[in-house]
């Protein structure tokens, strides 16, 4: 599975550490920035880049990180076909995939430890969408709004 990852300055350190974890876990990683730490960069740039890449590759997933996780989540969800979710814990990641077929997970760079981030991402990447009628209906309703 191809994983697109991006972060602003507040998520840069966590992103770099997660890349190592993901590579060791045998995932194909594409870092869409920022490639170097810049304290005044802006999260919408990276949220948009990752979202556009995920939409183009149906079987890929995305990981976005900013200070609160909210900014990149809002940005990613502006792209048609993206269902991004902020995950503060393993249950959030699990339900985002199982019920909502989310294709991007967003993390809080300022408040999520590396250990916790690894657990959240592992659950997100390993959980399959459960295609129950009600879940599929809800996703179809979202698509109609795009």
Query: For residue 77, what are the contacts with CB-CB under 8 A and spacing of at least 6?
Result: 51, 83, 84
User: What local confidence, expressed as pLDDT, does residue 96 receive?
Assistant: 99
Residue 101: pLDDT band (50, 70, 90) is very high
Domain count of the fold of the chain: 1
Read off the pLDDT of each residue in 85-97 and give the average, rounded to a whole number: 99
User: What local confidence, expressed as pLDDT, does residue 89 receive?
Assistant: 98
State pTM to two decimals.
0.97
Boundaries of domain holding 138: 2-145
Contact 32, 53 (CB under 8 A): yes
Q: Return the active site residues.
A: 66
Q: How far apart are CA 62 and CA 45, in angstroms?
A: 14
- pLDDT tens-digit map of 102-123: 999 999 999 999 999 999 999 9
- Helix 114-126 vs helix 90-98: crossing angle, to nearest 10: 20
User: What local confidence, expressed as pLDDT, does residue 88 receive?
Assistant: 98
- pLDDT tens-digit map of 2-27: 999 999 999 999 999 999 999 999 99
- pLDDT tens-digit map of 70-79: 999 999 999 9
Query: For residue 44, what are the contacts with CB-CB under 8 A and spacing of at least 6?
Result: 71, 75
User: What local confidence, expressed as pLDDT, does residue 98 receive?
Assistant: 98
Q: Can you give the CATH number for the domain in which 39 is found?
A: 3.40.1400.10
Residue in the block written with tokens 């960069």: 41
């Amino acid at each position: 599975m191809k994983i697109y990852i991006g972060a602003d300055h507040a998520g840069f350190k966590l992103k770099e550490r997660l890349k190592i974890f993901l590579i060791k876990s045998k995932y194909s990683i594409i870092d869409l920035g920022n490639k170097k730490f810049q304290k005044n960069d802006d999260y919408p740039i990276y949220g948009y880049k990752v979202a556009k890449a995920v939409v183009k590759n149906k079987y890929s997933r995305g990981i976005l990180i900013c200070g609160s996780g909210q900014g990149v989540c809002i940005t990613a969800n502006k792209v048609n076909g993206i269902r991004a979710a902020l995950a503060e814990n393993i249950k959030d990641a699990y339900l985002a995939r199982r019920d909502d077929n989310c294709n991007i997970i967003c993390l809080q760079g300022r408040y999520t430890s590396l250990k916790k981030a690894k657990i959240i991402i592992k659950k997100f990447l390993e959980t399959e969408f459960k295609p129950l009628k009600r879940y599929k209906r809800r996703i179809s309703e979202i698509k109609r709004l795009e």
